Structure 1
Amino acid sequence: MDVNNTAFALIGLLTAFSSLAVEKIPQEITTFITQADSCEYLAGEWDNMLPVARQQSLEKEINEVCSAAKTQQAQLRLRYRTHDDLLEMINRYDF
């Protein structure tokens, strides 16, 4: 097997394993992770050197997105309190 075929086989294998892992994660947790990542991204975008209008716009977005993520996190912590692997994903974020 040449290098290209080996690489494609490895990629296929990794894709199959990652698909299995993703299927076991409840949709509400993947939705939360997306929301939490958006919160972290937006918070990282804020800068006091930005124009005031952009700062205000970002602050509004951050408040909406991060508040929703924080609420989701509290609900998911309660719902998945006995699932250590899922709880670890939920607890990675600190708002």
Structure 2
Amino acid sequence: MMKRLFACVLCCLPLLATAEEKLPRDVAQFIEHAQMCEHFAGEWDEHDKARQREITQAIEQSCGQAQRQWKRLSAKYARQPTLQKIIAENANDAVRSFRK
């Protein structure tokens, strides 16, 4: 499972590097956290309690971070429609509905 996650992250690095060049750093970081939030929110392993604890911790970390960033960035870039659109498009359901 961790190998697959690591491979996924490695595959996404070139895309993130490209995004970071064009986007403000805080927006690029938000996108990364939002993607990880969505990934982990889709994981569930009721048969492996240890793995489930890892998933829960990853969800709390990535979704919590993304949700805080989403609210802050929405206000910060309120007058920049292009960035607002990018932020809104990446505020997926997992980020929007996260509750700790």
Count of residues in Structure 1 that have an aligned counterpart in Structure 2: 75
Show structure 2 runs of 5+ residues with no match: 1-17, 96-100
Q: Partner of 1:89 in structure 2?
A: 86
Show structure 1 runs of 5+ residues with no match: 1-18
The alignment's TM-score, normalised by the length of structure 2, stands at 0.66
Q: Partner of 1:64 in structure 2?
A: 61
**Residue 41 (structure 1) shift:** 0.9
Instruction: Please give the root-mean-square deviation of Cα atoms over the aligned residues, in Å.
Output: 1.8
Relative contact order: is structure 1 or structure 2 higher (C-alpha 8 Å, sep ≥ 6)? 2
Deviation string 1:10-32 (CA, Å, 9 cap, x unpaired) is: xxxxxxxxx6x763411110111
What percentage of residue pairs aligned between the two structures are identical?
A: 35
Map 1:3-82 onto structure 2 (within 5 A): 23-48=21-46, 50-82=47-79
The runs of 4+ residues in structure 1 deviating greater than 6 Å are none
Secondary structure of 1:45's aligned partner: coil
Q: Partner of 2:14 in structure 1?
A: none
